[in-house]
Chains A and B, each alone.
Chain A
Amino acid sequence: QVRLVQSGAEVKKPGSSVKVSCKASGGTFSNYAISWVRQAPGQGLEWMGGIIPIFGATTYAQKFQGRVTITADTSSSTAHLELSSLRSDDTAVYYCAREIGVGTPPMNGMDVWGQGTTVTVSS
């Protein structure tokens, strides 16, 4: 059974960047897409973007265009989310999630989630 294991909590200064990793344990990225979803304290879920690792194809939410970069290394089954120009309202828990299938629109939902990575942006 695939598990997604994320990197540890981060504390960053405003204006800096953060890179969060997500490693698939017990499986690979073949025929999957990886999405990144964040949740600010006490708030709902917000999709940031995704990647199809075997193709390297990415899609980003308009809100984050220009500030977010999602990459994947199929050899290590690890995906990365990098968010730049951090602001205090980027303070959130960041989740990676797996989607079975690589088509658009997605047909299967996010069936496996990482444990979440807390990113705190504070001066």
Chain B
Amino acid sequence: QSVLTQPPSASGTPGQRVTISCSGSSSNIGSNFVFWYQQLPGTAPKLLIYRNNQRPSGVPDRFSGSKSGTSASLAISGLRSEDEANYYCATWDDSLSGWVFGGGTKLTVL
């Protein structure tokens, strides 16, 4: 059971906009930055969003992040087939004094 809650799956057609939610608590999302990682099959995770809504260099602006209270979300607009991957939210948990991850959301591009 993950500390952060994500839907196990999401889907969309090319060109659509999809959102993936991430729910936590006051000791993690409520008081710290949220990060999002993309993991393509058979590869290491890649940092997609940092500090709630910032994109590292090279990440397309089709990807955006937001946070409100103890929840966060990742939005992907203009969906493309290469976006098919697993997406994980993560944050620091003050009570656990460590990183916590969501269970991951498998995005399927129909």
Q: Which of A62, A95, A104 contacts B45 (CB 8 A)?
A: A95
Query: In the assembled complex, how far is the CB of residue B39 from the closest CB belonging to chain A, in whole angstroms?
Result: 8
Query: In the assembled complex, how far is the CB of residue B93 from the closest CB belonging to chain A, in whole angstroms?
Result: 9
> Is A2 among interface residues, defined by CB-CB distance under 8 A?
no
Q: Which of A47, A95, A113 contacts B99 (CB 8 A)?
A: A47
Take A44-B103, A44-B104 as given contacts and tell me if A116 and B44 are in contact as well, using a CB distance cutoff of 8 Å: yes
Whether A111 contacts B44 by the Cβ 8 Å rule is no
The count of chain A contact residues (Cβ–Cβ below 8 Å) is: 26
Q: Which of B2, B32, B98 contacts A44 (CB 8 A)?
A: B2
Query: In the assembled complex, how far is the CB of residue A56 from the closest CB belonging to chain B, in whole angstroms?
Result: 17
Whether A105 contacts B92 by the Cβ 8 Å rule is yes
In the complex, chain B residues whose CB is within 8 Å of the CB of A114: 44
Beyond contacts A47-B90, A107-B51: 7 other A-B pairs, Cβ-Cβ < 8 A, are A37-B101, A45-B104, A46-B101, A62-B96, A95-B45, A108-B51, A109-B51
Which 6 residue pairs spanning A and B have beta carbons closest together?
Answer: A105-B92, A47-B99, A113-B44, A109-B35, A109-B50, A44-B104
